[in-house]
Each structure stands twice: as structure tokens, then as C-alpha cells.
């Protein structure tokens, strides 16, 4: 099918075959459509990465500034005094 988008070729290594087998079990209605299985795997992976990043950033934001007594003003300057120049 004509497209202006980039296309990608993937060699079916043992790891890719294993991922496709897992995808067939997860999405049996796509079992005979390896291109669609790969698309689903890629999108699922992207969502997992995005979710993990968002959760990490939320955890950082929710704990930011919780322990001001642990790092008083000037803490970094005091720490850096011991560093070689």
C-alpha cells in the first residue's frame, strides 16, 4: 500500500518469535496477522514506557521538598567545598 511514512523491517529472531507467540495468546483475533501483532506489541510497549515514566515523575513531584531538614540551605555549596577543582 502506498504511503509517505517510513516502513520498518523486522527479522524474526528467536526473541521476536517468542514475543509474537505471546501476542497471539493475548490477541487471538490477530493470530494470522503478524504485522498487526507487531503493531500491537509496539504500541503496548510504548504505553508501558510512557506509564512508567509518568509514574516516576509523579513520585518525584509528590516527594519533592518533603524533607527540607535533610538538605538545608547551602547544603550543595558545603558539599562542593571538598571537591577538587
Chain segment 27-85, per-residue pLDDT in tens: 999 999 999 999 999 999 999 999 999 999 999 999 988 888 888 889 899 999 988 87
d(CA 73, CA 82): 17
For CA atoms 22, 28, 33, 38, give the dihedral sign: negative
Domain limits for position 64: 14-82
Domain assignment present for residue 2? The answer is no
* In-domain check, residue 20: yes
* pLDDT greater than 80 at residue 1: no
Domain assignment present for 5: no
Predicted TM-score (pTM) of the model is: 0.66
- Residue 9 domain-assigned? no
pLDDT of residue 32: 97
Is 78 a member of any domain?
yes
Domain tally for the chain? 1
Answer yes or no: is 4 within a domain: no
Amino acid at each position: 500500500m502506498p504511503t509517505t511514512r517510513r516502513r520498518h523491517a523486522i527479522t524474526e529472531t528467536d526473541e521476536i518469535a517468542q514475543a509474537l507467540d505471546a501476542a497471539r495468546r493475548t490477541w487471538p483475533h490477530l493470530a494470522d496477522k503478524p504485522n498487526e501483532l507487531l503493531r500491537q506489541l509496539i504500541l503496548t510497549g510504548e504505553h508501558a514506557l510512557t506509564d512508567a515514566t509518568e509514574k516516576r515523575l509523579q513520585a518525584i513531584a509528590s516527594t519533592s521538598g518533603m524533607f527540607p531538614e535533610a538538605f538545608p540551605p547551602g547544603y550543595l555549596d558545603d558539599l562542593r567545598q571538598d571537591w577538587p577543582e
